[in-house]
Structures are given as structure tokens and as C-alpha cells.
Amino acid sequence: MTSQLALLGGRPVRKRPFSMWPVFGKAEETRLLRALRSGRWGRLQGAEVERFETRFAAMHGCRHGVAVANGTVSLRLALIAAGLRAEDEVIVPPYTFFSTASAVVEANMIPVFADIELATFNLDPAAVEAAITPRTRAIIPVHFAGQPADMGAIMRIARARKLIVIEDAAHAHGARYKDRPAGSLGHLASFSFQSSKNLTCGEGGIITTNDSRLAGACRSLQNCGRVPGGVWYEHHIISGNYRLGEFQGAVLNAQLDRLEAQTNTRDRNGRFLAARLGLLPGVHPQERPASCTRHSYQLFMLRLDGDAFGAPRPAVIEALRAEGIPCSAGYGFSLPQQPMFRERAFGPYLDRAAARLDYVRVRCPNSDLICREQGIWLEQALFLGRRADMDDIAEAFEKVRGNRAALAAWDRARRPRRRKGAG
Ligand SMILES: Cc1ncc(COP(=O)(O)O)c(C=O)c1O
């Protein structure tokens, strides 16, 4: 006999909060104070950002790291550093944060959407192939939620077509594909340190690469178009000041010491929860291919097939929240349906190309289905806890499923009644 849903007046599965984010302590305080008291607060004066760049790049299998203001700028600078030109086409997924595509527009290039796979939520290599045109110059696979995209297939396509691959690794700190770190799998990679991310300093980003020439171009773009060894008032290419400050560098150095253990904890907990939830009818956790040797679980994602589960997503989310499990539906629609794309509100960018671009007609059925009906997200901090936390999450899902008939009835009762004869 399943106990009554908390939504309907029963006792919630969980009353205690989950792990908090960000995690910080003495180490962050000490480093921040040291940076403060040094009086060397800028990237070009202090040593924190430089040290962080070297350490982060090495941890991600790269010789070079160029820290920047955020993970949007890092994508934009990577595209420019790779030598792409105005109105070149860049293939991006539709199931990702705005920046993956907005950075392309802000580089005066054209985002072309290729659908994701329903099972993995990651870019579908077959859709990438189909989206290639004579103007395609680059692909931005997103390691969505922290699970590496199918980089073997994507790099094969890129080699055959001479395309640049920029990993959007904003979610993938510490993730591994066939035991190789995310961030070292394409020509360049972009990470974010914005406050929700698995490694954070509030706002920040980094570009990683193993290519010295590309690293040099990124360094120059990050630093007002100056060149290494050049003179202060000598700017060789158009760019701006995209440097990261020393306070952020100090926090990042302390946070980086925690990353390895935190990533292993999230990976262990996420794997456990996926196995358990996968036993429930209608619940499809993000499918994890064997190539994903470490998942960073920036998000834990699943698809809920409401018919098979016995209750629709909005009701299930409300019921889970009432049981004490924070969760959400994630993106409500696919990225090409953003007003910015629908209305081609590109500002001064893509001036000539805009007239021939029509994002209203873009169809990405897998992404659309996940956004509109099926996706459920749980955030990374939940996965920093113990096995008992995972048990609570699983128990809440099981309880909601056990009460599906009552939940579906509650959901039907709250919906506005259709008027008879209404079209
Ligand atoms: C997939 C993805 N790419 C890029 C970004 C942009 O990062 P930032 O917010 O640091 O500019 C984000 C972050 O929010 C993201 O989730």
C-alpha cells in the first residue's frame, strides 16, 4: 500500500534540504584575502588566473587554457580564433542554453540547428551530416548535462569535411569520453564558471586547446588584440578586454582542489539513481553510452513518458516537489523558437544574411518533444550528497508512480473544463 502523496495531504518523503551550492570554506577565504591584500587585482598583474589556466588545462588534457569573462565570450572567441569568417555556418544543437547559438550570432556567423538524439539528449551525428552545406565551417557539440557528445562520430565528420569542432563543455568539467577529458576532444573547447556550474567563481569561462597556434589567437583575442611579447599600446587585431580578474582566479584555484572528488561523487550518485529510476515504467534517464567514462552530472536528466507513467509531466513535477525533491521541466521550447531567432533580432550582426534566414521553419522533433512534454531536470548539487539522498529521490518517484491514478485524477480536476461544442 503506497502512502498518500504529499501533494494531496500525505507526509513528504523528504523534509531535509539537499547539499547546498556553492561549496566553499577556509581555502577560498585564504586565497581571496591573499589576492585582495596583494593589491594585484588584474589578470596582467597577479598570478592566480595564470596558475588556474595552467592547472585547469592540464586537468582537462590540454596544454593551453585561456581564461575569459564567461562561457559565452569563450565560445565567441573560439570561433573567431579558429579563423571563421562573417556568415559562415556553424552547426549547433537546439537543446542547449541560449549562448551556444547566440555566441555564433555575436561572432557574425550563422547558427544551423541539428537535432539531438532522444536517448542521450546530445547532438545526433546523422542530423549533423544532414545539416552540412558548402558554407558550413564548424560544429559546436554540447556535452549536455555533463555527458560527452558522440565525439568519435563528430570528429570523423569534421575530418572528412575539414570542419572545426568547438566543444561547448559548459556542463562538462571533469567529464570523460573513453577516458579522455572533455575539453581535449575537439580543436577548441569552452567551459563556463557561472554560478550554477560544477566549478564556479560566480562568472567566468575558459578556452582549452592543444593547438599552440589557436591558443595564441585566443590569448590575443582575450587581451585587446595584443600579441605575446608585444608592446602595451600595440593592438594587432580587433578585439576587447575579455580577461578574468584575480579574485575569480583565487576562488577558482580553491574550487579546483575540490573538483575531482566532487565529480566522482556526482558520477557515482547519478549512475546509481539512473539505474534505479530506469526500472520505473515511463521513466527514461539520459541514456549513458559506454564511451562516457565519467559523467559530470551538471544536470541529471530524464524523459517522462506520461502515458506509460500514468500521469503527465507538470503533475509529476508538482508531486515530486511536494515530496521534497527539487526538480524542473528545464527548457520549455527548443532554442530556434526563441523570440530572438523567430524575429531575427540580431542587432548589427548578420545584416545581409538575416533576410534569408528563417528559424520559424526549423524542426527538431526530438528536442521539441523533450522540451514540450518529457524533460525533467535535477540539479548537480543534489548529487553531492550520500546514497541515502538518492534513495529519497528514487523513493519519491516510486511513490508518485504508485499514486499515479490519484495524481492523474487531481490533474484532470484542476484543468479548465472544455466547454461543450468548443472548437
Ligand atoms: C551549454 C552552455 N553553454 C554556454 C553557457 C554560457 O556560459 P556563461 O553563462 O558563463 O556565459 C552556458 C551557461 O549558462 C551553458 O549552459
Catalytic, out of 15, 162, 197, 420? 197
Q: What is the pLDDT along the chain (423 residues), one digit of tens a residue?
A: 579 999 999 999 999 999 999 999 999 999 999 999 999 999 999 999 999 999 999 999 999 999 999 999 999 999 999 999 999 999 999 999 999 999 999 999 999 999 999 999 999 999 999 999 999 999 999 999 999 999 999 999 999 999 999 999 999 999 999 999 999 999 999 999 999 999 999 999 999 999 999 999 999 999 999 998 899 999 999 999 999 999 999 999 999 999 999 999 999 999 999 999 999 999 999 999 999 999 999 999 999 999 999 999 999 999 999 999 999 999 999 999 999 999 999 999 999 999 999 999 999 999 999 999 999 999 999 999 999 999 999 999 999 999 999 999 999 999 876 554 443
**Atom of ligand 1 at shortest distance to CA of 75?**
4
Distance 256 CA to ligand 1 centre (A): 19
Cα gap 343→306, rounded to integer Å: 33
Phi, psi of 67 (to 5 degrees): -75, 140
Q: Say how many Å lie between the CA of residue 121 and the centre of ligand 1.
A: 17
CB 201 within 8 A of CB 80: no
Cell of 271: 549512475
Contacts of residue 146, defined as CB under 8 A and 6 or more positions apart, other chains included, come to: 171, 172, 173, 175, 198, 266, 295, 296, 297, 298, 299, 380
Residue whose CB lies within 8 A of the most ligand 1 atoms, among 95, 99, 207, 331, for a mutation test: 99
Ligand 1 site-directed mutation target among 192, 193, 331, 334, most atoms within 8 Å of CB: 192
**pLDDT for 368:** 98
Q: Give me 135's grid cell.
A: 558554407
Per the annotation, the verdict on 178 as an active-site residue is: no
Q: Are 282 and 197 contacting, i.e. CB atoms less than 8 angstroms apart?
A: no
- The secondary structure of the chain, three-state, reads CCCCCHHHCCCCCCCCCCCCCCCCCHHHHHHHHHHHHHCCCCCCCCCHHHHHHHHHHHHCCCCEEEEECCCCHHHHHHHHHCCCCCCCEEEECCCCCCHHHHHHHHCCCEEEECCECCCCCCECHHHHHHHCCCCEEEECCECHHHCCCCHHHHHHHHHHHCCEEEEECCCCCCCEECCEECCCCCCEEEEECECCCCCCCECCEEEEECCHHHHHHHHHHHECCCCCCCCCCCCCCCCCECCCCHHHHHHHHHHHHHHHHHHHHHHHHHHHHHHHHCCCCCEEECCCCCCEEECCCCEEEEEECHHHHCCCHHHHHHHHHHCCCCCECCCCCCHHHCHHHHCCCCCCCCCCCHHHCCHHHCCCHHHHHHHHHHEEEEEHHHHHCCHHHHHHHHHHHHHHHHCHHHHHHHHHHHCCCCCCCCC
Give the closest residue (by CA) to ligand 1 atom 8.
Answer: 71
Residue 28 is predicted with a pLDDT of: 98
Q: Is the CB of 71 under 6 A from ligand 1?
A: yes
Is the C-beta atom of 70 inside 6 A of ligand 1? Answer: yes
- CB-based contact 411:315 (threshold 8 Å): yes
89-92 and 299-304 strand pairing:
unpaired
CA of 309 to the centre of ligand 1 (A): 32
**Neighbour-count burial for 267-303, b at 16+ CB within 10 Å, e otherwise:** bebbbbbbebbeebebbbbbbbeebbbbbbbbbbbbb
First to last CA, the chain: 42
> How high is the pLDDT of residue 133?
98
Q: Can you give the pTM of this predicted structure?
A: 0.97
Give residue 220's pLDDT. Answer: 98
Q: Indicate if ligand 1 lies below 6 Å from the C-beta of 170.
A: yes
- With a 6 Å cutoff on the Cβ, whether 96 touches ligand 1 is yes
Q: At what angle do helices 387-402 and 246-277 cross, to 10 degrees?
A: 50
Q: Residue 423: its pLDDT value, please?
A: 39
Q: Residue 417's pLDDT is what?
A: 62
Strands 176-177 and 292-294: antiparallel
